[in-house]
Amino acid sequence: MMTDSNGSAASLKAMPDVITDDRKDTAWVTIEIPVPPCKVFGFLQNTERLFRLNPYLDIRQWEEHPSAKRFHLHALNEMNGVAYDLFVTLEDVRPDTGFLLSYDKGLKKSMEITLQPGAATGSIVTLRDRYHTPAGEDQLKEVDRSLIPWANSIRQYLLGLERWGWFWPYRWYRERFWLNMRPFHRRITRMLIWVTTLEFVVFLFVFTIYWLELMRR
């Protein structure tokens, strides 16, 4: 389940909620994942994988600083058309609880990820974007509209690993091949897989009818 900033059920929106007053210039989304917080935290600590899971972030270049806490990101956000050429810094790491990713330029100031124990042995994960106050209407286009799809992508990826992670070809495909594809190519590949699957189902249906008719004779 995903909830928006008001606690109600969330669907894919054009833009996450932007809050006023004491939470001004903030947007967030919360997801429930049936995976223990310690495993989710370890998974999210891979910062490059975390950013590549954004289905609308076309990463052109990713460079990791020797400290492993500072990264150079050159990318294009396909949802708002904003190009990024900035440094991301990993800060305020709290084991199994959360961490902060700060940006050195642009409207978005930081993204904080927090984890709480969920139902049974699951986790409640919140992705919270904080923004500088916009200088004008033109800067509002920099608001990241991919926050909710990003959270959903993280959830689906973790569920896939929980179900199929034991199967090494699946892990190799997801980690070495799928993650390194550009978002547009992933969508094309997904569409081709569905089309191929549908064609195979239709073939089986036609073949079954043919075989049944043949058996009647």
Alpha helices in 10-124 (DSSP H): 37-44, 47-52
User: Cβ neighbours of residue 112 under 8 Å, at least 6 residues apart?
Assistant: 92, 98, 99, 100, 101, 126, 127, 128, 130
Q: Where are the domains of the chain?
A: 2-166, 181-217
pLDDT: which is higher, 154 or 204: 154
Average pLDDT, integer, range 154-178: 90
Count of beta carbons in the 10 Å neighbourhood of residue 141: 13
Lowest mean pLDDT among 117-126, 131-140, 191-200: 191-200
Alpha helices in the chain (DSSP H): 37-44, 47-52, 147-164, 168-172, 183-216
Determine the pLDDT at residue 185.
67
Q: Does domain 2-166 have CATH number 2.120.10.30?
A: no
Amino acid in the structure at residue 139: Q
State the Cα–Cα distance between residues 182 and 42, nearest whole angstrom. Answer: 24
Determine the pLDDT at residue 67.
79
Average pLDDT score over the chain? 84
Contact 98, 112 (CB under 8 A): yes
Average pLDDT, integer, range 129-154: 89
**Long-range contacts, stretch 169-178, CB < 8 angstroms, 24+ apart:** 175/49
pLDDT: which is higher, 7 or 112: 112
Lowest mean pLDDT among 13-22, 41-50, 126-135, 158-167: 13-22
Determine the pLDDT at residue 2.
39
Contact 118, 17 (CB under 8 A): no
Per mean pLDDT, which of 4-13, 163-172, 182-191 is the most reliable?
163-172
Average pLDDT, integer, range 133-161: 90
The tally of CA atoms less than 13 A away on the side-chain side of residue 5 is 17
Please tell me the pTM assigned to this model. 0.78
Amino acid in the structure at residue 215: M
State the Cα–Cα distance between residues 170 and 159, nearest whole angstrom. Answer: 13
State the Cα–Cα distance between residues 125 and 159, nearest whole angstrom. Answer: 14
Average pLDDT, integer, range 125-141: 88
Helix (H, G, I), strand (E, B) or coil at 63: strand
Model pLDDT for residues 77-105, shown as the tens digit of each residue = 999 999 999 999 999 999 999 999 999 99
Pull the structure tokens for residue 7.
Answer: 């606690």
